[in-house]
Amino acid sequence: MHEKSIGKTGRKTGVPSGWNYKEYAVEVAEAEKQARKMFNIMADEGLVPDDQMAQAALLEALTIMKNKATSTAHKLSASRLVLDYTRAKPASKSDVTIHKAESLLEALAAQEADGPEDS
């Protein structure tokens, strides 16, 4: 065993495979900086919730999205989380269908109220 390796156990906890601690620390700092910029833009647009815990969670999700060392699966999960809590859900097809049916019934009721047509 080499004298310099005595007491060393490998990467520090939390450092992903293929990264050393110094490189990873620089990457995390850059990701946090970019995430903070995105967070401030979102706050200016009114997309950030008022709750402090929700703000911290949103900032962490943005940091995960911007970190190059994060896996694609984690980035996608973080992206989905951000979109779920900052954007309105699109109207479902059933809502549109119900709305059309209600409009049709209202139109028929209006025609009936006007009186029967003689054909």
Q: Which domain holds residue 38?
A: 16-88
Could you tell me if 24 and 16 are in contact, meaning their C-beta atoms sit under 8 angstroms apart? yes
Distances (CA, A) of 47 to 89, 91, 102, 112, 113: 14, 19, 33, 47, 46
How many independent structural domains does the chain possess? Answer: 1
Q: Name, in order, each residue with C-beta under 8 angstroms of 74's C-beta and a sequence gap of 6 or more.
A: 64
107 inside domain: no
Q: What is the pTM of this model?
A: 0.63
Question: Is the per-residue pLDDT at 109 higher than 90?
Answer: no
Q: How far apart are CA 79 and CA 61, in angstroms?
A: 7
114 inside domain: no
Q: How far apart are CA 5 and CA 94, in angstroms?
A: 65
Question: Is the per-residue pLDDT at 6 higher than 90?
Answer: no
8 inside domain: no
> 46-96, pLDDT tens digit by residue?
888 888 998 999 999 999 999 999 989 999 999 999 988 887 666 655 555
64 inside domain: yes
112 inside domain: no
38 inside domain: yes
68 inside domain: yes
109-118 mean pLDDT: 69
22 inside domain: yes
Q: Name the average pLDDT for the chain.
A: 81
Task: Note the Cα 114 to chain centre separation in Å.
Answer: 51
